[in-house]
A and B are shown apart, each in its own frame.
Chain A
Amino acid sequence: MNSVIFTAAARLLVALMFVFSLFMLLRGHHLPGGGFIGGLIGAVSFIVYSLACGPAEARKALRVSPEVIAMLGLGIALLAGMFAFFMGDPLFTGQWYWVGGDSYETAAFSINTVLVFDIGVYLVVLGGILSLAYAFEEET
């Protein structure tokens, strides 16, 4: 698509959407958001970029092939679930470490495996959707 307006607007939109996708990812679990929706928004930002500048350029912007991103995400999600093994819990039991308190209401923030799992989901969705979208765009 050779529209100057679209290309110029895309540069701005892509960055904004991608940051928003990260915001959605980090906001998840206790508030609406999370890895799945974040991954979708992140994928859309790259799709907009590839519409504006072509799939070859978009692939370059992603640096890693989307299939690898998806598989890495799967691995991260699974390993996050398997971390529970060291705590003697069953698979996928969330492990929480609260900083400055002992629950969501009182603590300042937390370090947990749930976020790591969500990052894995984010990467799976981002990689999966993009590998489909790029394949479609390169076909035509």
Chain B
Amino acid sequence: MSWVLVMPIAVPFLTAVVAFLARSYPAGRWISLAGSVLTLIASAVLMAAVLDEGVIAAQMSNWDAPFGITLVADYLSAVMVVITAITGLATAIYALGEIPEETEALGFYALFQTLIAGVTGAFLTGDLFNLYVWFEVMLIASFSLLVIGGGKERLDAGIKYVALNLVSTLIFLSGIGLLYGITGTLNMADMRDAVANAENQGLVTVLAMMFMVGFGVKAAVFPLFFWLPASYHTPYFAISAVFAGLLTKVGVYALMRMFTLVFVGDVGFTHEILIWVSLLTMFTGVIGAAAQTDFRKILSFHIISQIGYMTLGLALFTPLALMGGVFYLVHHIIVKANLFFVAGLAKQYAGHTDLNRIGGLYKSAPLLAALFIIPAFSLAGFPPLSGFWAKYLIVKAALELNMWFVTFVSLLVGLLTIYSMTKIWGMAFWKPHPDGIDPTPDRAPPQVTRAMIVPIAGLALMTIIIGFYPEPFVQFAETAATQLLDPTDYVTTVLGVQP
């Protein structure tokens, strides 16, 4: 049983090792691809086990909780692991077309697989210090991926990224130390009771804020998001897609986990702050996007604004809102990674990502245009795509609480998202190319186009499926939200499991 939880982490790690040893040969990329397929299979097995048994947990090295490291998967963790594996596979395919051989020889695939292992580990761990370790694994891998391939711009972006993320990690680490001082445990399930029974509740609230800041930087919420638009537009498109899809969501996941499991003593205070933070995140993100004219910069700012919706789902703290948050999380990973993929292919065709310098894609590449419309409209919340249901759940939750202002902002931000998406549509697809050239698909080699269009089409298909057939996904999110709001099952499974 315990190996079901281990394999989604172990497979990408082993793939990283083998891919690194084969990095100078063409086999390296196929090893990476095979590893991603195996990771997806392992994740699917984990999902099946979770659907079958509810929460599952395993004690590493046979050290019982709360002393050893526990891996644990509830519905939320399981779905995040699966979606990570899907994004990983899509990126592994996309990278076949995009990544040049020199970059492969530097160990690109090893770093990429390590990143996937780090993200998966963060979703599965039940130990707070172990979570910190996974954050570090992710940080090291993502920093290397950000600067790989060289260039002034990338290095500049990389330094901003790593400096701000190190600050967040330090705050997170100090928070862990202080929390350990109060509770004497690092196991998150064990911590729930220990924190509730702590004498100094004032200090607990202070620590909750430290964690909110630490995870907030990772999740890129207002006012801690400035590292994101400074760095996400420089690396390879495959990399910015996987960053955009997964990295900030780890922060959101950690917030969701800690603020439903551990820091629930003073919900009126902590979650009230989260509401305002979320609203400001949504609004500043979308306003920032309106001022940009670069394809990827617009998308980067939209990540921020969408993060606001997810944290809002957590902040409202009702079953419906959390359900919306979980649904949003999954929907957004698919859609956002896909939009960055589209940006990469658009650059292959039209030669640039600056919207002022490209155009005419609608006429010359109608398939790409169609594949852009799906995630773009889904992001903006057009029915019947997945984004509509995600926004609908959040807005409905806000309405049920009679929070008119929150509802108003959510809808306004949705409207402004459409503005940005139509801007991309108008400038990149409809207006003629400013250089007078026809950005035909022939400008990219056919094998490049093929490798890039497959993941774009696959993810677009998933968006459509979730959009037209949301019932099972919504039900899944509902169970996930129930488990988050009432973690009794989580706690007993972690602490009571016999190895």
Contacts and interface: CB of A to CB of B under 8 A. Distances in A.
Interface string B13-35: 11011101100000000000000
A90 B20 contact: no
A78 B15 CA distance: 11
A124 to B, nearest CB: 11
Q: Which of B14, B16, B17, B62 has the most chain A CB within a 10 Å cutoff?
A: B17
Nearest to A78: B13
B20 A71 contact: yes
B499 interface: yes
B61 A75 contact: no
Given A67-B107, A71-B110, A85-B3, A91 B10 contact: yes
B3 A75 contact: no
Given A67-B107, A68-B21, A71-B21, A89 B62 contact: yes
A67 B105 CA distance: 12
A122 B333 CA distance: 38
Contacts of B110: 71
Contacts of B60: 90-93
A22 interface: no
A28 to B, nearest CB: 16
A67 B20 contact: yes
A93 B499 CA distance: 11
A111 B18 CA distance: 27
A77 to B, nearest CB: 10
A94 B61 contact: yes
Interface residues of B, number: 19
A61 to B, nearest CB: 21
A67 B61 CA distance: 28
Contacts of A71: 16-17, 20-21, 110
Interface string A79-98: 10010010001111110000
Nearest to A82: B10
A90 B499 contact: yes
Contacts of A94: 61
A72 interface: yes
B198 to A, nearest CB: 31
B14 A93 contact: no
A24 interface: no
A37 interface: no
Contacts of B18: 75
Interface in B447-499: 499
A118 B472 CA distance: 46
B21 A91 contact: no
B201 interface: no
A41 interface: no
Contact of B6 (A67, A72, A79, A90): A90
B141 to A, nearest CB: 13
B59 interface: yes
A92 B110 CA distance: 22
B2 interface: yes
Interface in B19-73: 20-21, 58-62
A51 to B, nearest CB: 27
A16 to B, nearest CB: 32
Contacts of A68: 20-21
Nearest to B58: A90
A91 B62 CA distance: 8
User: Which of A79, A89, A90 counts the most chain B CB atoms within 10 A?
Assistant: A90
A93 B17 contact: no
Nearest to B18: A75
A93 B58 CA distance: 12
A74 interface: yes
7 contacts: A82-B10, A85-B3, A89-B62, A91-B2, A91-B3, A91-B58, A94-B61
Interface of A: 67-68, 71-72, 74-75, 78-79, 82, 85, 89-94
3 interchain residue pairs of minimum CB distance: A75-B17, A90-B2, A92-B61
